């Protein structure tokens, strides 16, 4: 299975890079994309990483899942963003898995994808999901094809829920066992 993970300047390091590493460890293929005007991304804590592709150069129908990490960039772009919301709407319309962590679920909320669905997110982010069912006590939760998580401290639970949904519960537990979780 192949998926996309969005990288933006000031993306939360752990939410993007640790999630990517855990999903690859579980046997998933993860390609990083960006809507920035450069492939060279500087994370929230100053790490320089290179996205694999510009989003415009990727055939979205070739991918099975989408990951939207959080970070400081979300507050700066979520209200005016069109690209990430449209990409999420596309994946949802195809009933493909979407994972969003920390403030990342704000994109899903503004796109209307969390209406009537259970979700969790970074505290305060729920304002963008007034028609969703906010469950702040959950580290990670799945409702149908959407997995959400609270923040960097929930990366392992986030990856587990994604792997469990895409590859099955046995593979999810194998992932956690492989990292001595």
CATH no. for 2-178 = 3.40.50.880
Can you give the pTM of this predicted structure?
0.97
- Residue 114 makes CB contacts below 8 A (sequence gap 6+) with 105, 108, 129, 131, 132, 146, 148
| pLDDT given for residue 54 in this prediction | 99
Domain boundaries, the chain: 2-178
Find how far residue 114's CA is from the centre of its chain. 14
Q: Is a pLDDT exceeding 90 seen at residue 31?
A: yes
At 77-123, the pLDDT tens digits run 998 999 999 999 999 999 999 999 999 999 999 999 999 999 999 99
- Whole-angstrom Cα distance, residue 39 to residue 67? 17
> In angstroms, how far is CA 80 from the centroid of its own chain?
19
Q: How many CB atoms lie within 10 A of CB 180?
A: 5
Reply yes or no on whether the pLDDT at 181 is more than 90. Answer: no
List the beta bridge partners of residue 133.
118
Nearest to 122 by CA among 12, 7, 3: 12
């Amino acid at each position: 299975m192949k998926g996309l993970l969005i990288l933006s300047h000031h993306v939360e390091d752990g939410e993007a890079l640790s999630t990517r590493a855990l999903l690859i460890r579980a046997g998933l293929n993860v390609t990083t994309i960006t809507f920035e005007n450069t492939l060279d991304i500087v994370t929230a804590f100053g790490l320089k990483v290179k996205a694999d592709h510009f989003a415009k150069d990727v055939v979205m129908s070739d991918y099975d899942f989408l990951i939207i990490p959080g970070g400081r960039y979300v507050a700066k772009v979520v209200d005016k963003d069109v690209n990430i919301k449209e990409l999420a709407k596309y994946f949802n319309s195809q009933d493909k898995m979407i994972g969003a962590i920390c403030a990342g679920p704000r994109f899903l909320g503004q796109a209307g994808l969390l209406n009537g669905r259970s979700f969790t997110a970074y505290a305060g982010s729920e304002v963008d999901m007034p028609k969703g069912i906010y469950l702040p006590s959950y580290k990670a939760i799945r409702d149908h094809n959407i997995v959400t998580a609270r923040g960097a401290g929930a990366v392992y639970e986030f990856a587990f829920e994604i792997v469990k949904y895409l590859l099955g519960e046995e593979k999810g537990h194998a992932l956690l066992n492989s990292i001595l979780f």
